[in-house]
Amino acid sequence: MDILQIVGLGLVATFLVVLLQEQKSNLSFLLTVFVGCTIFLLLVDQISNILLTLREMAEGAHIQMVYLEMMLKIIGIAYIAEFAAQISKDAGQGAIAAKIELGGKIVILALAVPILTAIIEAVISLIPAAR
């Protein structure tokens, strides 16, 4: 998927949403959600290529897969929360969008705790007095 196609789709959809918003606000919102999901689906191939490349790099660097998987989950949660928050904002629900963003941040923090623990344990093991 070329960026020009994504931008073109987005701009055409934006134009249509602006036209529909005054007459049929429900339809304009559905169009917004549909185009957002369509753009995401158009990017699935590129996302899978990125994941494959990251996996190959992690294997080449002898990084434990559990850490890579954890980082990918964190990134995925961030993107999903952002996408949902933007849809809520488009619907005029800024308060709900803020709660979605907060929920995403808390879930990310909960997933990051084992990684932070491993880093702290590694640093402590490097300190001579701690042995």
**pLDDT 10s digits, 67-93:** 888 888 999 999 999 989 998 888 889
* pLDDT value, residue 82: 93
Give the distance between the most distant pair of CA atoms in the chain.
72
* pLDDT value, residue 87: 87
Structural domain count of the chain:
1
Q: Tell me the residue range of the domain where 108 lies.
A: 64-130
pLDDT above 70 for 130: no
Average pLDDT (44-57) is 89
Q: Judge whether 84 lies within some domain.
A: yes
Contact 46, 52 (CB under 8 A): no
pTM above 0.75, yes or no: no
Spatial separation of the C-alpha atoms in residues 15 and 10, rounded to whole Å: 9
Q: Judge whether 3 lies within some domain.
A: no
Q: Judge whether 29 lies within some domain.
A: no
pLDDT above 80 for 131: no
Q: Judge whether 118 lies within some domain.
A: yes
Q: Judge whether 108 lies within some domain.
A: yes
Angle in degrees, CA 76, 37, 86, rounded to 5: 70
Which of the two residues, 130 and 94, has the higher pLDDT score? 94
Contact 34, 75 (CB under 8 A): no
